[in-house]
Structure 1
Amino acid sequence: MSADRPLFSFSVVSDLHFMAYADPGETPVDWVPFLTEEIAYLASLEPRFVVCNGDLTNGKLRDYRLAMGAFRPCEMPVYFTMGNHEYYGRYEEPECTSERAQARFLAMTRMPGIYYERIHEGFPFLFLSTEHYTPDSNEAGWLREAQLTWLEDRLRAHAGAPTFVFMHHPLNDTVAGSEGTCLASERVRSLLDRRKNALLFSGHTHCRMDRDDQLVRRGGNVFVGGGCMYEEHPQSRWVDVYEDRAVLRLLCHRERRWLDAFEATARY
């Protein structure tokens, strides 16, 4: 392969919030048609895969039916993580525990677990999910010990390789709007501090992505903030993966143009 061409590329979106009203026709909320069009547009760019990094839905079955219908035409893999909104079924279904919300997520997205690993061209991709809804803690991310132990094991196993990590909630005090966003921040940060060349992608904050504090370099690692795909500044992240670097680009979906001023390179 030519040195100036990436090995592969992938797209990262978050906070799509597919929702339908509880009427007989399951009427979509007003931003769903735009989301569906832009997912199709992303697919037309032919990334190796797409990552939907949390808050795909508001947790109800009818929301998932809408969301999976929008992603179904995609020919490439789509990897999902759970955000806090995947647990919102509890507001309509009192019996909807965290465990039931996770079971619904797995059944509808067909992911192998709420945390899992994929390898592309020798590069590890680690997908994490919040495991409990914490409305009394600013809806912060919450990871059980088993998931943290798994993360530690996988980071150790890939200590010599650049590693891409995805978690809906940003670690505290990293990217824009990340004040008190993850209850496991200290533990995850300590795991990342033991190594270099990890890129952690997050969402949750709904902060626009075309700002300098949405890409933070710290301790040899890179923290990449996400935005919201249907609000005033609908944007997604595009990543070109090379042998020695990752080039991160921003796509403005309102105008379908690249925001070249915010292109950044993370060298391994």
Structure 2
Amino acid sequence: MRIALLGDFHYSRMDGGTAEMLEARDAAYKTMLDAFLQTEADLHISLGDLTHGGYPEEFRYVFEQINGSGRSFIHVLGNHDTYSIPKTEILAITGQQRYGAIELDEAKLLFLDSTKEMNRSDWGGELDERQLAWLKEQLEQSGGKPVLVFAHHPVYDTTAHSTKDKLSIHPDIDIQSALRAKQGPAFYFCGHNHINSIVSRDGWHYIQTAACLDHPAFRLIELSGKKLTIGFVTMEDETLSSHIERFNTQVKGFKPTADAQGLEQDRYLQVGL
């Protein structure tokens, strides 16, 4: 099984952007989407903030290209995705589910919705009681099969910056009690904090992925036999960096993150199962 995993994409309609900025934006995002979608994988997954403002036209731009690629694609909601319209409208545009599970022979995949709805003042994460109970039940039922959880927000006090305000699922929400229900290999993939980070603790491996505008790359997850490997594919294009530099500081609400690549151990992981 092979999964291509995209961090925070932040495609923006860029209100007020100059013609030069919009041209650079279009070139950069096309290059990144092409690199991601042309990579062979059983699933292509976005960790949320696929859009920057959560506007219908932003979703339509991205999904027109995704739907035309023929790839099996799953979008996890991010806080920026939910800023402008209700989640029901987002799901109607994208054809996605808010949260759910996929049972495969090799592993169980769980997809969470950790976002608030149309709340620009609080970009932190949450899970309601119904989703928490569902998560715990899914983990209990998985037995010793590897489980891969995909969410936008990190679990508090795991990956880089996850103890800072609004940079995790709120610590008052006891997601850890649900995670402790898992016996066997367990992996939690997230974005939100715009920096690569991998932390292994209490039987779980927490893998956080940087934003594409900071580190134009995506993760590749490969599960083969008794081994799970997580690597990186850099989106190499001689003009990509220069295109990004022409508009990224002008996207309102986006601030480039220093040291987004993290250390070597934050980009690669291999785990025996």
TM-score by length of 2: 0.79
Corresponding residue to 2:46 among 30, 52, 55: 52
Q: How does 1:21-60 map to 2 (within 5 A)?
A: 21=14, 30-57=24-51, 58-60=53-55
Q: Which runs of 5+ in 2 are unaligned?
A: 239-262
Secondary structure of 1:76's match? coil
Residue 238 (structure 1) aligns with: 220
> Counterparts of 1:82-97 in structure 2 under 5 Å?
82-89=77-84, 96=85
| Distance in 2, Cα, partners of 1:35 & 1:198 | 32
Instruction: Give, in whole Å, the separation in 1 of the partners of 2:205 and 2:235.
Output: 24
Contact 1:19 1:66 in 2 (8 A): no
Alignment pair present for 1:265 and 2:270: yes
**Structure 1: runs of 5+ lacking an equivalent:** 1-7, 90-95
Contact 2:139 2:181 in 1 (8 A): no
Q: Could you say which residue in structure 2 is the equivalent of 1:92?
A: none
> 1:38 & 1:166 partners in 2: Cα distance?
21
Residue 197 of structure 1, CA deviation? 1.2
Residue in 1 that maps onto 2:149:
165
Q: Deviations for 1:143-166, whole angstroms, at most 9, x for unmatched residues? A: 111111111111111122100000
| Superposition deviation, residue 40 in structure 1 | 1.7
Contact 1:28–1:66 (8 Å) recurs in 2: no
How far the C-alpha of 1:224 sits from its partner, in A, is 0.3
How far 1:85 moved relative to its partner?
0.4
Question: How far apart are the structure 1 equivalents of 2:233 and 2:172?
Answer: 28
Which of 132, 140, 144 is 1:148 aligned to? 132
Specify which of 55, 62, 86 is matched with residue 57 of structure 2. Answer: 62
* Cα distance in 2 between the residues matched to 1:255 and 1:83: 27
Instruction: Name 2:194's counterpart in structure 1.
Output: 206
State the Cα distance separating 1:33 from its structure 2 match: 2.9
- Using the alignment, how far apart are the partners of 2:159 and 2:24 within structure 1? 29
Q: Which has the higher contact order (CA 8 A, sep 6+)?
A: 2
CA 17–185 in structure 1, closer or farther in 2 if over 3 Å, else same = farther
Give the letter aligned to residue 225 of structure 2: E
Moved more, 120-129 or 142-151: 120-129
User: Given residue 108 of structure 1, which amino acid in structure 2 is its aligned partner?
Assistant: I
Q: 2:74 aligns with which of 79, 98, 113?
A: 79
Supply the distance in 2 between the matched residues of 1:199 and 1:31 (Cα, whole angstroms): 33
TM-score when scaled to structure 1?
0.80
By how many angstroms is 1:177 displaced? Answer: 1.7
Q: Which amino acid aligns with 1:11?
A: A
Show CA shifts across 1:160-192 (max 9, x none): 210000000001111112124111675222222
